[in-house]
Structure 1
Amino acid sequence: MKYRALLAAAILTLAACTAPASVTASTVPGVTTTPTSSPGTPTSSPGTPTSSPAAVTPGTTSCDNPPEAFQPLCTAYHIITTSYVDPVDDSRLAEGAARAITEHESEPGATAPDSLTCALPSPAFAQMCNAFVEEELTDPAPTPDLVAAAISGMLQYGLDDPYSVYFSPDALARFQEETSGQIEGIGALVRSEDTSTPEDGPCSTISDTCQLVIVTPLEGGPAEGVGLRSGDIMTTVDGESIDGWLVDEVIAEVRGPAGTDVTLGILRDGTPLEFTITRAAIDIPIVSSRMIDDSIGYLELTIFATNAPHQVDTALRELLDAGATTIILDLQHDPGGSLNSAIFVASEFLSDGLVLRTEAPGDTEEYPVTPGGIATDPSIALYVLVDRASASASEVVTGAFMDAGRATVIGEHTFGKNTVQQQFNLGNGGALKLTVARWVTPKGHDYGKVGLTPDILIEIPDGAEPDFLLNKALEIIRG
């Protein structure tokens, strides 16, 4: 299987940081351990024939002093076992690492490295080291590639958490690009859907039950221009089936330099279609706003990107200056984003109190409202629009409003993502995005997996016009 980290559609991140690894591994039965002899001294395990001088002898070492290529693995293991929100099963991490190495597909013509010394984060990782040696001897690959696969495997198979992922250097650049509000690609928002679950929750590996669905083509973008539609299911990229790919691998293949083409296979209402799209530089429309009439202002936020606070503040000021006494905040399809951005947006409408609490093992942290919001006056009526794709930071903001009685929430049950991820850099240009806490509303409500229930519940039919919920809200507001 090809591997890349999952880039989840719903993301709630904290500040980046790094963490060291310091894990000592003892000699493990079944794995030959590199003896601590002086350089050039031939060594062998009892009962094991001594290799010829030209042979490469497999061996292990601890994470106290690992081979350079294994340092990211040791660091990742330390971070996972000390920072993950739930207790971690060491054997599952090791099994996941070994499985990912075994499934790794090497590039043709690769040769085995000069050293087969493997670092053991813990004794359970003997199976990973065995898989590493066997893979290098039968299907050689650069050691950093197998280490990256092992890190990805610890998360994908060891935690069963679609929001905890490994970002390769390329994937990290794409993630940072997306949360900055500017990308190069086809101009479409996508999400993974697990059709085997009632709520069509996220999934990581494309299969018969895990689909990558177009949420919406961005207005004026290449995807809209060729006729892609909301609800289209992606099946191929440049003629190659994406079955078995991880979600982030598909995203990586679809994105690319402006001016280049990509051909997508699409399933629409059971009919296979094909679209060739010329990629372009895309400014993700973080905010759009307008006056609907003399007193009602409309503000749509599509993602809580790092540049969202400035855009929200500017748009909100313009609406208020234009005479808006009612604000409709549209968070439909908003998958979340930066926690700092969520706190800022909530604070624009709340004068005091909390935005949320996060709960981690042995630690609870409170995030208060930031003073100085420009729409805190209770005479400014606030309505919030949500749907089943409103997730993470969208739910943080909506939950804070509901607890404070600040807004009337209209729409569908929200997505139900209540976890907080933190980014940890690994020193190889890649990073972990790891679930480190769960969030609850200021009053302690936990909406994980079930989502928020709006004050006024309105089911949005499939194929509804983009303004369906807005029009329903206007009917309610105007009475």
Structure 2
Amino acid sequence: MKKKINNFYIKYFVILISIFIISCSSGDINNPEPIPEIDISEVTLTEPPANLSKELQIIWDTYQYLLQDHVDQKNLELDSLAEGAVIGIFENLNDQHSGYISPERFALQQSGFEGKFEGIGATVQQTKDGRRVVIVAPIDGSPAEEAGIKAGDIILAVDGVDTDGWTVMEAVNKIRGKGGSPVILTIQRIGESLPLDIKIIRGEIKLPSVRSTQLKEAPYAHIRVSSFTKETHTELKNVMKNLDKNNQGIILDLRRNPGGLVTSVVDIASEFLKEGSMVMYEIKGNGQRKNWLVKSKGKYTNIPMVVLVNEYSASGSEVLSGALQDHNRAVVIGTTTFGKGSVGIQRRLSNGGGIFYTVARWYTPLGRLIENVGLEPDVIQKQPGNETDDLQLDAAITQLNFQIDGES
């Protein structure tokens, strides 16, 4: 009996020792990870700004601790730490149309709506899954077009840097650069099994946003609006003034139009809609609603027109086509649009950089949400990639013929 009791205590002691060893082990006996010592000594922190919210106090505390205690405190790059904090905020914002712009890139962003900039000359949008950016279209005559970039190319890397998780702004900021400098885009192209590396020499890109062609096969003007800049409204008015005297209708082509200035969109809508018409409305984060109305009586409210859109028609082009569609002003032909119906804003920061983020969502006059949904055309007409004829343009001509024949 005594032997059994001794055996019991021996086993019990062994178990206790085993538990102690396991509990003190860090998982890797050969490479134990030391637990940092908790310093409970008092550290005097500089008082935070008076208006700093309680939630941001931890950022201020962290900044102060690093300045006082970090082993490389004398070599800390405070600008980089501050930028990292801002980037971290946007990474947790769950807004794919937001981010931080470095000072050296912020000036480049401002030139996009001026009618010219330096870069490769291509518009981009976020892919549907939000992980990459995709080429909407190269600008006619641009370095991108000359190098062989095509609509639908998904950018996998820029100068060897993986683009996974990049926002549109991040991609634009990395791809743009001084004229004459090279950039290599690694792209995935539809129909190609392997990625392609395309070298592009940047240049100055002039942005005439409106081009017009009088069709030979029909008495209609094909008016292509590629973006909405400060000059777009003026360019459109000049085109409309100089239409062929025998012209009977217009085809407003918004395919591959990524958007632009909302004021420009409203100005153009005002040329085709009756006075007092709503172009769209926006709902801000605080629930406040803002109506965007036609600015003045339009000069072209009766001319027969058709609007062309596709899956790369985004933002402002969706607002314009939605307004013309809701007011029964034009038949919209093509495929469902991209679905970028959010109002973005840029703010300049004190370091010369900037931030961009979503402040509201757009709705068509009849209350249709654009964001992540897109707009459904009145007439669905796809354009196969291997089709040489413009089937959507042909459908627009057929529609105008029907409208005009029905009126006569």
Within the candidate set 196, 220, 237, 2:141 is matched to: 220
Preserved contact between residue 413 and residue 452 of structure 1 (Cα < 8 Å): yes
> Structure 1 residue 348: deviation in Å?
0.8
**Partner residue, 1:142:** 77
SS at match of 2:255: coil
> Structure 1 residue 147: deviation in Å?
2.1
How do 1:253-402 and structure 2 match up within 5 A? 253-268=174-189, 269-293=192-216, 295-319=219-243, 321-352=244-275, 353-360=277-284, 361-376=286-301, 378=302, 380-402=303-325
> Structure 1 residue 183: deviation in Å?
1.5
Distance in 1, matches of 2:345 and 2:123, equals 23
Q: Which runs of 4+ in 1 moved over 6 A?
A: none
Instruction: State the AA in 1 paired with 2:342.
Output: T
> Structure 1 residue 444: deviation in Å?
2.6
Instruction: State the AA in 2 paired with 1:470.
Output: L
Preserved contact between residue 306 and residue 331 of structure 2 (Cα < 8 Å): yes
Relative contact order, higher structure (CA 8 A, sep 6+): 1
**Partner residue, 1:177:** 111
| CA separation of 1:267 and 1:323: change in aligned 2, threshold 3 A | same
1:446 pairs with 2:369: yes
- TM, length-normalised to structure 1: 0.67
Instruction: State the AA in 2 paired with 1:142.
Output: E
- TM, length-normalised to structure 2: 0.78
Distance in 2, matches of 1:146 and 1:316, equals 53
Instruction: State the AA in 2 paired with 1:363.
Output: Q
Preserved contact between residue 118 and residue 203 of structure 2 (Cα < 8 Å): yes
Instruction: State the AA in 2 paired with 1:224.
Output: E
| CA separation of 1:428 and 1:369: change in aligned 2, threshold 3 A | same
Preserved contact between residue 299 and residue 316 of structure 1 (Cα < 8 Å): no
Preserved contact between residue 317 and residue 374 of structure 1 (Cα < 8 Å): no
Distance in 1, matches of 2:169 and 2:199, equals 20
| CA separation of 1:150 and 1:466: change in aligned 2, threshold 3 A | farther
Within the candidate set 128, 137, 146, 2:59 is matched to: 128
> Structure 1 residue 298: deviation in Å?
1.0
**Partner residue, 2:26:** none
Instruction: State the AA in 2 paired with 1:155.
Output: F
Preserved contact between residue 60 and residue 129 of structure 1 (Cα < 8 Å): no
> Structure 1 residue 61: deviation in Å?
0.7
SS at match of 2:260: strand
Count of paired positions: 355
Within the candidate set 136, 154, 157, 1:233 is matched to: 154
Distance in 1, matches of 2:125 and 2:156, equals 14
**Partner residue, 1:155:** 90
Deviations 1:78-120 (A, max 9, x none): xxxxxxxxxxxxxxxxxxxxxxxxxxxxxxxxxxxxxxxxxxx
> Structure 1 residue 456: deviation in Å?
0.7
Most deviating of 255-264 and 399-408: 255-264
Deviations 1:140-195 (A, max 9, x none): 543233223322322331x21122333333333222111222121122222221xx
> Structure 1 residue 60: deviation in Å?
4.8
> Which runs of 5 or more structure 2 residues have no equivalent in the other structure?
1-38, 403-408
Preserved contact between residue 250 and residue 306 of structure 2 (Cα < 8 Å): yes
| CA separation of 1:178 and 1:463: change in aligned 2, threshold 3 A | farther
Distance in 1, matches of 2:62 and 2:94, equals 21
Distance in 1, matches of 2:97 and 2:132, equals 17
Distance in 2, matches of 1:216 and 1:362, equals 35
How do 1:426-445 and structure 2 match up within 5 A? 426-445=349-368
Distance in 2, matches of 1:138 and 1:478, equals 77
| CA separation of 1:399 and 1:244: change in aligned 2, threshold 3 A | closer
> Which runs of 5 or more structure 1 residues have no equivalent in the other structure?
1-45, 51-56, 65-120, 194-199, 204-209
| CA separation of 1:420 and 1:413: change in aligned 2, threshold 3 A | same
| CA separation of 1:441 and 1:174: change in aligned 2, threshold 3 A | same
Preserved contact between residue 383 and residue 390 of structure 2 (Cα < 8 Å): no
Q: Of the two, which has the highest radius of gyration? A: 2
> Structure 1 residue 414: deviation in Å?
1.4
Deviations 1:223-242 (A, max 9, x none): 22222222223233334444
**Partner residue, 2:13:** none
Preserved contact between residue 386 and residue 409 of structure 1 (Cα < 8 Å): yes
How do 1:162-201 and structure 2 match up within 5 A? 162-193=96-127, 200=128
SS at match of 1:178: helix
| CA separation of 1:435 and 1:312: change in aligned 2, threshold 3 A | same
Preserved contact between residue 132 and residue 165 of structure 2 (Cα < 8 Å): no
Most deviating of 167-176 and 388-397: 167-176
Preserved contact between residue 99 and residue 167 of structure 2 (Cα < 8 Å): no
Distance in 1, matches of 2:65 and 2:133, equals 34
Instruction: State the AA in 1 paired with 2:180.
Output: G
Distance in 2, matches of 1:458 and 1:180, equals 34
Distance in 2, matches of 1:131 and 1:465, equals 60
SS at match of 2:195: strand
Instruction: State the AA in 1 paired with 2:124.
Output: V
> Structure 1 residue 63: deviation in Å?
4.7
SS at match of 1:373: coil
